[in-house]
Chains A and B, each alone.
Chain A
Amino acid sequence: MSDVIQYITIANTGNATDFGDLLSSNRYISGTASTTRGLFFGHGDGGTINRIQYITIANTGNATDFGDLTVGRYFSAAAASSTRALCGGGRNGSTYYNVIDYVTIASTGNATDFGNLITHKMDHGAASDKITAVFAGGRGNSDGSSAPTHETIDSVTISTTGNASDFGDLNNDKSYGTSGASNAHGGIA
């Protein structure tokens, strides 16, 4: 496990550079950002698995405690507008979650319930623009089994609260940690 935070300059190819440290060595965390803050949700290493931590992207340094998820979990996926970050799904032991939490990025504090994904799942990916967040792929079920794998894409409107609706399907089976990215996420001005 690692507590290392490293950074790149997206416009320039090259190796990553040390940024600072997480609050502890963490794996299976999910990340998203506004234009100024990067947030990391949960982790899979015991103790405070409901932890949310953040960094200020422009300034190198260590992560700071932000607050707590409503339910501790890992292997979640996160997406954000420029003001609100969502953390959906995840796992704790044999329990797979469909919970979506949200936080207001500019403040600190505990997460609030947003609604539910269509399915209970982990190892999915997330992406967003400033209006819509999608959660795609993954695996798991409400009965605690790791099957089935999901090609489904769930979507929510970030500025509201409520349950996810069906967006469509992935082109390929992408369980076990597909990674989402978009050209208009909350970190892009």
Chain B
Amino acid sequence: MVVHLLQQRQCKGNLIMTTKHFTANVISATKVVPAGKFENSKASGVWDLSEQFDLVKGGNWPNIGNPATRALFAGGYGGGATDTVDTLLLASAGNATDFGNLTSGRYYLSSGGAASSTRAVYAGGANNDGDRQNIIEYFTFASTGNGTDFGDIASTAQSMAGCSSSTRGIFAGGET
């Protein structure tokens, strides 16, 4: 909205009154209930301007381009090599839910997947017969579903370490 404020200034000894236009917003007195894109934010509740500044500075202020932080846990062993992938939202404690399935059941995947803000990538592991795999597969965080083939690591391996920047995924060591 545009706010019209009467401005007073001196000009050659004469007092002149002018109107100046400011773009502004009104802070509502109505309580803000976190919902929608703010629902899973760390910045829940009602904030004053000082708090809002701190939250923005700390990178914790919610915005449309900052979707909920999602973690995936893929594979493992539960009565056999499992293909299940669980998911949880890090902003709020609670139980994990089903996200999808690996392309095949495996345990001892890379310890730590490689992930960007959109993709989680997992490599290696052993199948139910204990055979090591060279599979790399990926999931898209924004949509539940099953893994998709990405490519291969250099040789079959289990128990590698994984990590990444936002663009480059790393897989290191392991049992080959």
A30 contact from B71, B77, B111, Cβ within 8 A: B111
Q: Output the residue of A18, A130, A181 with the most chain B CB within 10 A.
A: A181
A33: CB under 8 A from chain B? yes
B145: CB under 8 A from chain A? no
On whether the beta carbons of A173 and B113 are closer than 8 Å, the reply is no
On whether the beta carbons of B165 and A36 are closer than 8 Å, the reply is yes
* A32 contacts across to B, CB distance below 8 A: 112, 163
* B42 contacts across to A, CB distance below 8 A: 131
B54: CB under 8 A from chain A? no
Q: Output the residue of B69, B150, B170, B171 with the most chain A CB within 10 A.
A: B170
A16-B136, A22-B172, A26-B173 known; A33 vs B111 contact (CB < 8 Å): no
A residues 38-59 in Cβ contact with B at 8 Å: 38-41, 43, 55, 57-58
> B166's closest neighbor in chain A, by CB?
A188
A40-B172, A153-B96, A182-B70 known; A29 vs B114 contact (CB < 8 Å): no
B36: CB under 8 A from chain A? no
* B162 contacts across to A, CB distance below 8 A: 31, 179, 181
* B74 contacts across to A, CB distance below 8 A: 178-179, 181
B94 contact from A36, A126, A149, A168, Cβ within 8 A: A168
> B74's closest neighbor in chain A, by CB?
A179
On whether the beta carbons of B73 and A170 are closer than 8 Å, the reply is yes
A16-B171, A179-B162 known; A1 vs B176 contact (CB < 8 Å): yes
- In the bound complex, CA of A178 to CA of B39 (Å): 28
A28-B159, A178-B75 known; A130 vs B170 contact (CB < 8 Å): no
Interface-side segment among A92-100, A109-117, A132-140: A132-140
B residues 124-176 in Cβ contact with A at 8 Å: 125, 136, 138, 141, 149-155, 157-176
On whether the beta carbons of A178 and B109 are closer than 8 Å, the reply is yes
B52: CB under 8 A from chain A? no
On whether the beta carbons of A31 and B159 are closer than 8 Å, the reply is no
> B86's closest neighbor in chain A, by CB?
A171
> A173's closest neighbor in chain B, by CB?
B78
A residues 121-170 in Cβ contact with B at 8 Å: 123, 125-132, 134, 136-137, 149, 153, 155, 166-170
> A17's closest neighbor in chain B, by CB?
B154
On whether the beta carbons of B164 and A134 are closer than 8 Å, the reply is no
A29-B172, A179-B162 known; A130 vs B59 contact (CB < 8 Å): yes
A11 contact from B59, B75, B91, B119, Cβ within 8 A: B119
On whether the beta carbons of A127 and B90 are closer than 8 Å, the reply is yes
On whether the beta carbons of A131 and B60 are closer than 8 Å, the reply is yes
B154 contact from A6, A26, A79, Cβ within 8 A: A6
B117 contact from A8, A77, A153, A188, Cβ within 8 A: A188
A29-B161, A173-B79 known; A183 vs B154 contact (CB < 8 Å): no
Q: Provide 15 A-B residue pairs closer than 8 Å at the C-beta atoms, listed in order of the A residue.
A: A2-B174, A5-B171, A10-B115, A35-B166, A132-B90, A136-B73, A136-B86, A170-B73, A174-B82, A176-B77, A177-B76, A177-B107, A178-B109, A181-B112, A183-B116
Q: Which residues of A contact B (CB under 8 A)?
A: 1-11, 13-16, 18-19, 22, 25-33, 35-36, 38-41, 43, 55, 57-58, 63, 75-79, 123, 125-132, 134, 136-137, 149, 153, 155, 166-185, 187-189
